[in-house]
Structure 1
Amino acid sequence: MTPFSDLARAAYCPRQLYYARRENDPDVPDEARARIDLAFRYPALADAPDATLRRLPIRRSPAAYRRNLSRLRERDDYAALVDPTHERVFRAGKECRGTVHKVLAGGAAGEPPVPAVVSPGEPPENGVWEPQAVKAVAVAKAVAWEREREIPRALVEYPSVGTVREVRLTTRKKAAYRRALRAARAIDGPPSRVDDDRCSACEYRERCGTGRRTLRSLLG
């Protein structure tokens, strides 16, 4: 089965996945792990003083961060976000596997659970980045396989910003997932270079031979 993280890399750039596999890079660097950990501390962080927040790897000023967390508290699913049914659990579906950061109970009796992917990076202006959407679909499919029921949506959390976005498992999102899965499974040598704006901060750009590439934090 394909790891969730491989699908996210393949969605962004198959060539980057090739280098990551070849060099056996850790899935989550320490700095990213510290930002992911913030997703399990929302209640404490919402009222934390400036001095405490400045010591944390947040991506907003303390005042802006507290405002974002205040808005987060207004969500109907906030209680489930801070007290999920499962945290950091391994799930394996028919095609993919990996750690699911959170599994939230459905909002009402009989509603399906809602898995959550936690990203250490910045969200786009609207929605989520495609690699994270692909990962969210993969996670939802794995939980659906385990529960033997359809999971129609997932969440992507950006805890260093204090924002949560929803990913619906639409036909388009599922198609992107299938493309990433095929790309990840097909790699047996270096894929073609892309050489575009994704390359600007890629840790493999010197070996790859392109001038620009991805930010690791977008892969969440």
Structure 2
Amino acid sequence: MPREKPTFTDLATATYCPRQLYYDRREDDRDPPPAATARIDLAFRYPELRELDDAALAAEPIDRPPGEYRAALDRLAERSDWTALSAPTNTRVLLDGKDARGVAHKVLGATGADAPRDEGGKPSGDPPVPVIVSPGDPPDRGVWEPQSVRAVAAMHALSWQEGRRIRRALVEYPAHGVVREVSLSVRRSGTYRRVLRSVRELDGPPARLSGSEKCRECRHRANCGVKTRSLRSLIGL
């Protein structure tokens, strides 16, 4: 029986905490919570959001004051790919690669039969760019490792489908009006392969974490058995 491919979400979750993935897989409903979905949806509304007044913008699920958020969108509008980002034609695209499958929230550029071809019938021109949208906060620089792994998974899957090398992806943090680029590198590919291997081999609960900040907000904390200790207890107060 063929082995089921892990999803991009599986890989991102395992990068963050393999034990969390184990418990996630035991649930019937793995859809993101409504609050996260509302923040992701901001990435498809940039032109509209730029036109809102401060009161209306403050009512949106953004994480910056209205003036700062509008300024962030204005900076995004200076990008050469602004039109494709703000009015994408390929949205929530299912990518089914050799090793993993999942959804790219956007794919910038032509794909499949719409892609330009050379005289030999091979794809030509700039390759398409998969985009992953995160409902969370961006780091000071770059992207968080789970999102990096997810972006690499999307690049590899899109490469498999298109029959050409995809070496660039974007990660959007729409609640902040921030877009970060992820380029394919030896280090990122190595991390992706390591996580892919660990997910494939996951057949029981991985070792517990010995108390971590990751555990404090985890919805599985009650049944995971991870014991966290407060700062007061750690320093003997």
> Taking structure 1 as the reference length, what is the TM-score of the superposition?
0.91
CA contact (8 A) 1:10 1:17 kept: yes
CA distance in 1 between counterparts of 2:26 and 2:201 reads: 14
Residue 195 (structure 2) pairs with residue 180 (structure 1): yes
Match of 1:59 among 58, 63, 70: 63
| 2:146 is the counterpart of 1:131 | yes
Report deviation, 1:180: 1.3
Per the alignment, do residues 211 and 25 of structure 1 end up closer, same or farther by CA in structure 2, a change over 3 Å counting? Answer: farther
- The alignment's C-alpha RMSD in Å is 1.4
Structure 2 segments unaligned to the other structure (5+ residues): 111-123, 229-237
- 1:71 corresponding residue in structure 2: 75
Bigger mean CA deviation after superposition, 136-145 or 75-84: 75-84
- Give the whole-Å Cα distance in 1 for the aligned partners of 2:79 and 2:26: 42
- Say whether residues 1:162 and 2:162 are aligned partners: no
SS in 2 for 1:23: coil
Alignment partners' CA distance in 2, 1:95 and 1:164: 27
Q: Residue 118 of structure 1 aligns with which residue? A: 133
Within-5 A mapping of 1:137-152: 137-152=152-167
CA, structure 1 residues 162+80, in 2 after alignment: closer, same or farther (shift >3 Å)?
Answer: same
Q: Deviations over 1:151-210 (max 9, x none)?
A: 011000000110000001111111111111112111111101123222221111222222
Alignment partner for residue 45 of structure 1, among 42, 49, 70?
49
Aligned match of 1:10: 14
Q: How does 1:22-33 map to 2 (within 5 A)?
A: 22-33=26-37
Runs of 4+ in 1 over 4 A off after TM superposition: none
Are 2:226 and 1:204 equivalent residues in the alignment? no
Residue aligning to 2:120: none
Among the aligned pairs, what percent are the same residue? 55
Q: Which amino acid is the alignment partner of residue 94 of structure 2?
A: F
Determine helix, strand or coil for the equivalent of 1:24: coil
Which one-letter code corresponds to 2:76 in the other structure? Answer: L
Could you tell me which runs of 5 or more consecutive residues in structure 1 were left unpaired when the two chains were aligned: 213-220
Aligned to 2:95: 91
Q: Which amino acid aligns with 1:207?
A: N
Count how many residue pairs are aligned between Structure 1 and Structure 2: 210
How big is the shift at 1:211? Answer: 4.2
Q: TM-score, normalized by length of structure 2?
A: 0.85
CA distance in 2, matches of 1:197, 1:35: 23
| Deviation digits for residues 34-69 of structure 1 (CA, Å, limit 9, x no counterpart) | 111100010111121112112211111111111111
Deviation, 1:83, is 2.5
Contact 1:200 1:211 in 2 (8 A): no
Deviations 1:86-129 (A, max 9, x none): 111111000111111100018xx701111100000000010000
Q: Distance in 1 between matches of 2:227 and 2:153?
A: 31
> Which has more radius of gyration?
2
